Structure 1
Amino acid sequence: MTRDRSFLRDNGLTLVFGAGFLLSLAGQAIAGHADFNNQLIAEDLQPLSFGGYLLSSDFAVDVTENWQSEYLQFFLYIFGTVWLLQRGSPESKQLHKAGPESDAEQKTGKYAKPDSPRWASAGGSRQVWYSRSLGTLMCTLFLLSWLAQSVTGVAAYNEQHLRELQAPISWFEYLGAADFWARTLQNWQSELLAVGSMAIFSVYLRQRGSPESKPVGSSHEATGVEG
């Protein structure tokens, strides 16, 4: 029992957000199925089963267009905060640390500690890749989910066109279509707004006990300090 409690405590952030993700995805599927069938009924078409909706391009494009924007947010934030600074924000590095920093600061190469990841001291291409592995993964997931959005998006777009007795378009044509960019940019603008707002609001506002906030008594000028 103690070991189970320790596991839950040590992994609470991942477990709670993971469970929240699954519940939200299930809720999206249920609500989306109902809304999709309402549209079909309004067009005098046969409603789709719940299982059929889960395998449909309409459900897939709604999911992937959100995923790509979230991974874009993290990719830009991870790489952007290497060089970009915000005075007074805990979301920024300290003002004198812009850039990739030295091996001593990053504990790589000969400065690696006994408990450092093995590739931190490996040198060569392995260390170069590992030093950028988090941002690289976020970029890869963004590109893959954006590709998935484009593929499922054109399928959903053409399905709607066929129901309206209009000619379908190719994937390349869809990449330049207003529908694709409307879906994409409506998510990008919200993610960029959220990150920018968090960076500046955290200069002046506090949340006691959160590492995303400075300590309550810290100066507004304190930069790169977490509570």
Structure 2
Amino acid sequence: MRTFFKNNGLSVTFGLFFLIAMLVQWLTGFNEYNKERQEEGRQRVSLRTYSASGHFIESTFENWESEFLQMALFVLLTISLRQKGSSESKKLEGEEEVDKEPDRNKKDAPWPVKKGGWILAVYKNSLTIALFALFLLSFLLHLYGSLKDENEHLQQKGLPAETLGQLLGESRFWFESFQNWQSEFLSVFAIIVLSIFLRQKGSSQSKPVDASNSATGE
């Protein structure tokens, strides 16, 4: 068990953080949703019903959407863009290990590398592809949840349901998206710039403490 945690401590810890935060969001969202329903003179719903509601789907995936977009863009843009002095950037000059073509004869290379062809071509970009795919899926689920939640409120008021096109043409959905996107872009900007001047001993996201401010990369 100790060996497993030593080898997987970072993913296990953040996985637990995610599950705890998800549980708290689920329960507090459930209470908030039922509070709104009671104020509108409607009956409370069960946790199971709430889990399929637009309120829960929208609030969950509008956040996931921004996270995956931020990570996808960061992975993609760090291929060609640089920031002098940042630990998050590749060196300003010269080829790095990640730029080299994969060695198909390497003993412990992943199977797509050994396979070659189109499988290798996809695998060489698989991280970016996966992150953009997760962003798109989260975006669509956010859109679905937002439409469902909006139509639930309209139904309560006795108004006609809104179409997908109408929702996309209104400010509400885009406000939900961009209020999260801007915070993610700000956080990436902050770590890129702050890592030029500030340090954290022992962290892979920091340069060595004695590195000069102009030193780029780890």
Structures share a fold, TM > 0.5?
yes
1:36 corresponding residue in structure 2: 33
Q: Which of 109, 113, 126 is the equivalent residue of 2:106?
A: 113
Which ranges in structure 1 are unaligned for 5 or more consecutive residues?
A: none
Query: Counterparts of 1:137-156 in structure 2 under 5 Å?
Result: 137-156=130-149
Alpha-carbon separation, structure 2, partners of 1:198 and 1:104: 21
Alpha-carbon separation, structure 2, partners of 1:130 and 1:20: 29
Which ranges in structure 2 are unaligned for 5 or more consecutive residues?
A: none
**CA deviations over 1:135-165 (Å, ceiling 9, x no partner):** 0000111001101111111011111111122
Alpha-carbon separation, structure 2, partners of 1:216 and 1:113: 34
1:91 corresponding residue in structure 2: 88
Q: Tell me the secondary structure at the aligned position of residue 17 of structure 1.
A: helix
Q: Tell me the secondary structure at the aligned position of residue 152 of structure 1.
A: helix
Q: Which of 187, 191, 215 is the equivalent residue of 2:208?
A: 215
Equivalent position amino acid for 1:22 in 2: L
Alpha-carbon separation, structure 1, partners of 2:110 and 2:119: 12
Equivalent position amino acid for 2:147 in 1: V
Contact kept, 8 Å, 2:53 with 2:148, in 1: the verdict is no
Contact kept, 8 Å, 2:103 with 2:113, in 1: the verdict is yes
Q: Which of 68, 74, 79 is the equivalent residue of 1:77?
A: 74
CA drift of 1:102 comes to 8.2
**CA deviations over 1:154-178 (Å, ceiling 9, x no partner):** 0111111111222211112212221
Equivalent position amino acid for 2:100 in 1: Q
2:63 corresponding residue in structure 1: 66
Larger relative contact order (CA 8 Å, sep ≥ 6): 2
2:121 corresponding residue in structure 1: 128
Alpha-carbon separation, structure 2, partners of 1:145 and 1:94: 33
Q: Tell me the secondary structure at the aligned position of residue 95 of structure 1.
A: coil
**CA deviations over 1:59-109 (Å, ceiling 9, x no partner):** 011101111111001100000100111100010000115xxx689952514
Alpha-carbon separation, structure 1, partners of 2:76 and 2:113: 19
**CA deviations over 1:28-49 (Å, ceiling 9, x no partner):** 0111111111111111211222
Alpha-carbon separation, structure 1, partners of 2:113 and 2:88: 24
Equivalent pairs counted in the alignment come to: 218
2:54 corresponding residue in structure 1: 57
Q: Which of 16, 19, 22 is the equivalent residue of 1:19?
A: 16
Alpha-carbon separation, structure 2, partners of 1:23 and 1:182: 27
Q: Which runs of 4+ in 1 moved over 3 A?
A: 101-105
1:6 corresponding residue in structure 2: 3
Alpha-carbon separation, structure 1, partners of 2:139 and 2:79: 24
**What is the percentage of aligned positions where both structures have the same residue?**
36
Equivalent position amino acid for 2:148 in 1: A
Equivalent position amino acid for 2:102 in 1: T
Contact kept, 8 Å, 1:107 with 1:120, in 2: the verdict is no
Alpha-carbon separation, structure 1, partners of 2:43 and 2:107: 64
Contact kept, 8 Å, 1:90 with 1:202, in 2: the verdict is yes
TM-score between both structures, scaled by the size of structure 1: 0.90
Choose 50-59 or 70-79, whichever is displaced more: 50-59
**CA deviations over 1:176-209 (Å, ceiling 9, x no partner):** 2211101111111000010011100000000110
